[in-house]
Amino acid sequence: MAKNTYDDSSITVLEGLEHVRKRPGMYIGSTDERGLHHLVWEIVDNAIDEALAGYGKEIDVTINEDNSITVEDNGRGVPCGMHPTGKNTMEIIYTKLNAGGKFDNNAYKTSGGLHGVGASVTNALSTYMIVTSYRDGKIHQIKFENGGKKVSDVVILGETRKTGTTVTFKPDSEIFSTTVYNFDTIKTRLRESAFLIKNLKMVIIDRRNGKKEEFVYENGISEYVAFLTNGKKPLHNVAYFEGVYNVPDVNDEIEIEVALQFTNDYNEKIVSFVNNVKTQDGGTHETGFKSALTKAFNDYAHKMKLIKDNQTLEGADIRTGMTAVVSVRISEKLLEFEGQTKGKLGTPAAKSAVDTILSEKLGYFLVENKSLSEALVQKALKEAEARAASRRAREQARLDKSQKGEKNISAKLAPTSEKNKEINELYLVEGDSAGGSAKQGRDRRFQAILPLRGKVLNTEKATLEAAMQNEEISTMIYTIGADYGAKFDLKKCNYKKIIIMTDADDDGAHIQVLLLTFFFRYMKPLVEDGRIYLALPPLFKITKRGKKEEIVYAWTNEEKDKILKECKCPTILQRYKGLGEMNAEQLWETTMNPETRTLVKVGIDDEAEAENQIEVLMGSDSNRRREWLENHVQFTLEEEEGE
């Protein structure tokens, strides 16, 4: 038998880029489509940092026919001389993990890519990379292959008057589960970056099909807010505020930009960035923004006698219907993030910066726009009244429950027997028939069943009052137990998974969309935290009539055809028209058993794009919806056989 030993020879040292290839998830998060596109972001972020530093006004991203990527900017070009280490600087930048200009405050005042690993990680996970630098009147080029191995030293291809950097790379198919780039994913990211830097031109070209789009915005984040509120009825033009905050005692400053707009909507939306990096989980700059907004509105309302001296407007009520973009730029010296990712800003001075500058400027704005300001205060008061009424209704419902037993708002709910929020699941089931089978077939220890009657209300069109008065909506809010809107508290949610289970037909798909719209509008943290799922019931039941009868299921037509083709015995094929056709055992086996079921997790890749899509598809603007359908859906008329 081989003897297991652990001594000096057991220790393996992975040099440089070898560790990236061995553990790519540590550097790019995953090796699926998300990780694949992360390679592009690393190179694009370098080009954006040049633009932030004041060099270059255009960045072009090209998807080549072989799914390689070319990123070209007109910045200063990467340095091409000899580094003090004895190697060419171009080689060091693209092969050393902790090399780059982001560690030197003299090279970049602010930067999104602060870890100094981006370009080299992209190189490590590519089959080849070609870097061309236009600098100092010459064209310098270096090539790498097979995960960052240098093909040759830097060569000079000729002379030039232009400046900038061009990087071409092809992701390694041995690393990634897919190497096919998505045009819309890259387009969305480039458009977002163009919004954040005024007059920066972002271009995406797809050589595979000839698509090309360009983005450039003279008014920056003001146009971003207008994009996010497209299709809604604004109460005023987008308000824009900017300023520079001098941080005490450190001889440094923080630049802030804020754009906001109130609409007749009932949902709050704040999108925040630091150095062009989206802070998905907010942070100190968002805290400063909310503090300034609440302070300015209350000061104005008291000054104008719109509320009583002892009355205070709550921030959540003020922000109802507001869309805002908060962008701050902070030097590397001051920049702090919470956790391992850049999802939440932790710089304490950012709160003071946004709070101080916005409080003053927003105060002037409210005074200068008296009629609008009074209308917004009244809107906040109305929202407070609606929340109070909703709270009283829920309290009454709980009272009814204690007094009248099951005659209350959650009478249809089949609850779990255990009260473990970390494992419990809530199934939202289409119809009482399927709900009955689900109740019988479930594991009652951790699976709750809530049958829904018909199609729920379209909350994209309905007012807040109408939504809260809707029985199905109220039942879901009461059952989930975490409130709704700005008051939603994820910690109070009664379930780890909320699973939408509908028939596999058009009506079922419509119910899914209606429910997803509700969750996106009123319980967005559920979606962001990955708690919303779609159940996938099978389309077919196939009974094999051999020596021993066997039942198998198929979820697609292709799967069904394969089973029938490979089967050597007589079969009986049943197409499920709805969940109600399954008995409890079949529903458990195919759709509810955690060991055998298939669930689709619902997430938000790009919030702005999701916002726009829901507004188009579920909103009240029928012209925009018709235009989208005409551009994205092909309608065909199938003739019956023999006609």
Q: How many domains does the chain have?
A: 3
Domain co-membership, 316 together with 422? no
Q: What is the DSSP letter of 90?
A: H
Better pLDDT: 116 or 410: 410
Contacts of 63 (CB under 8 A, 6+ apart): 69, 181, 183, 186, 204, 205, 206, 207, 208
Q: 225 lies in which domain range?
A: 221-379
Domain co-membership, 185 together with 235? no
* Model pLDDT for residues 158-189, shown as the tens digit of each residue: 999 999 999 999 999 999 999 999 998 899 89
Domain co-membership, 50 together with 27? yes
* Model pLDDT for residues 75-132, shown as the tens digit of each residue: 999 998 888 877 888 888 898 875 555 444 555 555 554 444 578 999 999 999 999 9
Q: What is the CATH number of the domain that holds 440?
A: 3.40.50.670
Domain co-membership, 371 together with 444? no
Q: Shortest CA distance to 202 belongs to which of 39, 35, 51? A: 51
Least confident of 84-88, 106-110, 281-285, 556-560: 106-110
Are β-strands 497-501 and 425-430 bridged in parallel, bridged antiparallel, or unpaired? parallel
Are 44 and 61 contacting, i.e. CB atoms less than 8 angstroms apart? yes
Domain co-membership, 134 together with 265? no
Least confident of 85-99, 190-204, 241-255, 623-637: 623-637
Active-site hit among 73, 425, 472, 503: 503
Are β-strands 599-601 and 532-535 bridged in parallel, bridged antiparallel, or unpaired? antiparallel
Write the DSSP string, 549-572. Answer: -EEEEESSHHHHHHHHHH--S-EE
Active-site hit among 42, 286, 425, 430: 430
Least confident of 168-172, 280-284, 496-500: 280-284
Tokens of 545: 């009539």
Whether residue 505 lies in the annotated active site: yes
611 pLDDT more than 60: yes
**Residue positions counted in the chain:** 643
Distances (CA, A) of 166 to 44, 69, 114, 351, 459: 11, 10, 21, 38, 47
Amino acid at 151: V
pLDDT at residue 396 in the model: 66
Residue 575 inside a domain? The answer is no
Backbone angles phi, psi at 237, to 5 degrees: -70, 155
Q: Shortest CA distance to 326 belongs to which of 280, 278, 362, 272? A: 272
Q: What is the CATH number of the domain that holds 125?
A: 3.30.565.10
- Other beta carbons less than 10 A from residue 173's beta carbon: 11
Are 148 and 123 contacting, i.e. CB atoms less than 8 angstroms apart? yes
Backbone angles phi, psi at 605, to 5 degrees: -75, -45
pLDDT at residue 568 in the model: 86
Backbone angles phi, psi at 251, to 5 degrees: 50, 50
Q: How far apart are alpha carbons 318 and 383 in whole angstroms?
A: 8
Cα 316 to the center of its chain, rounded Å = 22
Q: How far apart are alpha carbons 592 and 584 in whole angstroms?
A: 10
N- to C-terminal Cα distance for the chain?
Answer: 75
Cα 509 to the center of its chain, rounded Å = 22
What is the pLDDT averaged over residues 623-642?
65
Residue that terminates a domain, selected from 215, 230, 263: 215
Residue that terminates a domain, selected from 186, 215, 244: 215
Whether residue 430 lies in the annotated active site: yes
> What are the respective helix, strand and coil percentages of the chain, to the nearest 5?
40, 20, 40
Residue 61 inside a domain? The answer is yes
Domain co-membership, 369 together with 500? no
Residue 554 inside a domain? The answer is no
Name the average pLDDT for the chain: 86
Are 99 and 105 contacting, i.e. CB atoms less than 8 angstroms apart? no
Domain co-membership, 342 together with 276? yes
What share of the chain has pLDDT > 90, as a percent? 49
Q: What is the CATH number of the domain that holds 251?
A: 3.30.230.10
What is the pLDDT averaged over residues 226-240?
91
Residue 545 inside a domain? The answer is no
Amino acid at 491: K
Q: How far apart are alpha carbons 439 and 81 in whole angstroms?
A: 71
Q: Shortest CA distance to 90 belongs to which of 138, 53, 49? A: 138
Amino acid at 601: K
Least confident of 110-124, 203-217, 370-384: 110-124
Q: How far apart are alpha carbons 370 and 304 in whole angstroms?
A: 10
Active-site hit among 465, 505, 528, 609: 505
Domain co-membership, 126 together with 24? yes
Whether residue 561 lies in the annotated active site: no
Residue 374 inside a domain? The answer is yes
pLDDT at residue 400 in the model: 61
Whether residue 506 lies in the annotated active site: no
- Other beta carbons less than 10 A from residue 455's beta carbon: 14
List residues bridging with 164 in a β-sheet: 134
Domain co-membership, 487 together with 614? yes
Q: The tokens 């001051």 sit on which residue? A: 334
Q: How far apart are alpha carbons 437 and 27 in whole angstroms?
A: 46
Tell me the pLDDT band of 402, cut-offs 50, 70 and 90. low
Q: How far apart are alpha carbons 233 and 144 in whole angstroms?
A: 53
Distances (CA, A) of 408 to 380, 405, 413: 30, 7, 10
Better pLDDT: 406 or 191: 191
Are 89 and 131 contacting, i.e. CB atoms less than 8 angstroms apart? no
Domain co-membership, 32 together with 159? yes
Residue 394 inside a domain? The answer is no
Distances (CA, A) of 481 to 390, 438, 494, 495, 608: 13, 22, 6, 9, 28
pLDDT at residue 532 in the model: 95
Q: What angle do CA 475, 480, 484 make, to 5 degrees?
A: 85
Residue 591 inside a domain? The answer is no
Residue that terminates a domain, selected from 172, 193, 215: 215
Active-site hit among 145, 213, 214, 507: 507
Highest mean pLDDT among 76-80, 253-257, 390-394, 623-627: 253-257
Amino acid at 598: T
Q: How far apart are alpha carbons 270 and 277 in whole angstroms?
A: 14
Q: What is the largest CA-CA distance in the chain?
A: 88
Are 323 and 269 contacting, i.e. CB atoms less than 8 angstroms apart? yes
Domain co-membership, 361 together with 339? yes
* Model pLDDT for residues 309-347, shown as the tens digit of each residue: 899 999 989 998 899 999 999 988 888 888 655 678 999
Domain co-membership, 240 together with 344? yes
Are 362 and 290 contacting, i.e. CB atoms less than 8 angstroms apart? no
Tell me the pLDDT band of 7, cut-offs 50, 70 and 90. very low
Residue 544 inside a domain? The answer is no
Write the DSSP string, 151-183. Answer: -S--EEEEE-S--EEEEEEEE-TTT-S--PPPH
Backbone angles phi, psi at 206, to 5 degrees: -115, 105
Cα dihedral 207, 212, 218, 224 sign: negative
Cα dihedral 330, 335, 339, 341 sign: positive
* Model pLDDT for residues 417-466, shown as the tens digit of each residue: 998 999 999 999 987 777 888 899 899 999 999 998 878 898 888 877 77
pLDDT at residue 598 in the model: 86
